[in-house]
Amino acid sequence: MHGVDANAPPTKGPDAGSRFRGFHEVSIPDTGQRIACAPGENILRAMERLNLRLIPVGCRGGGCGVCRIRVRCGKYVTRRMSRIHVSAADEAAGIALACCLMPQGDLEIEVLGSGTSNPMSTVNPLQG
Partner 1 sequence: MAQSAVIRPGHVCLRVLDLEAAVRHYRDRVGLLEIERDSEGRVYLKGWDEQDWFSVVLREADHPGMDFLGFKVLGTDALARLESDLNAWGCVTERMPAGELRHCGERVRFQLPTGHVVELYAQKDFMGNGLGRVNPDPWLEGVKGMQAQRFDHCLLYGRDIDGNIALLRDVLKFDLTEKVVDGELVVAAFLSCSNKAHDIAFVRHAEDGKFHHASFLLGTWEEVLRAADIIAMHDISLDLGPTRHGITRGRTIYFFDPSGNRNEVFCGDYTWYPDHEPIIWTADQIGRAIFYHDRRLNENFLNVVT
User: Does residue number 124 form part of the binding site for partner 1 (CB under 8 A)?
Assistant: yes
- Of the two residues 32 and 127, which places its CB atom closer to partner 1 in the complex? 127
Task: Order across the sheet with 95-97: list the strands.
Answer: 33-37, 24-28, 107-111, 68-73, 95-97
The DSSP symbol for 83 reads T
- The residues in 82-121 that bind partner 1, with binding defined as CB under 8 A, are 82-85, 114, 116-121
User: Does residue number 123 form part of the binding site for partner 1 (CB under 8 A)?
Assistant: yes
In whole angstroms, the minimum distance from the beta carbon of 62 to partner 1 comes to 6
How many residues of this chain interact with partner 1, rule: CB under 8 A?
28
- Of the two residues 10 and 117, which places its CB atom closer to partner 1 in the complex? 117
- The residues in 27-86 that bind partner 1, with binding defined as CB under 8 A, are 57-64, 66, 79-85
In whole angstroms, the minimum distance from the beta carbon of 9 to partner 1 comes to 24
Which 3 state secondary structure label does DSSP give 108? strand
Q: Which amino acid is at 90?
A: D
Integer CA distances (angstroms), 47 to 82, 98, 105, 117, in order:
21, 10, 16, 23
- Of the two residues 58 and 94, which places its CB atom closer to partner 1 in the complex? 58
- What per-residue string of b and e applies to 62-93 under the rule 16 or more CB within 10 Å gives b? bebbbbbbebbbbbbbbeebeeebbeeebbee
Which residues bind to partner 1, rule: CB under 8 A? Answer: 57-64, 66, 79-85, 114, 116-121, 123-124, 126-128
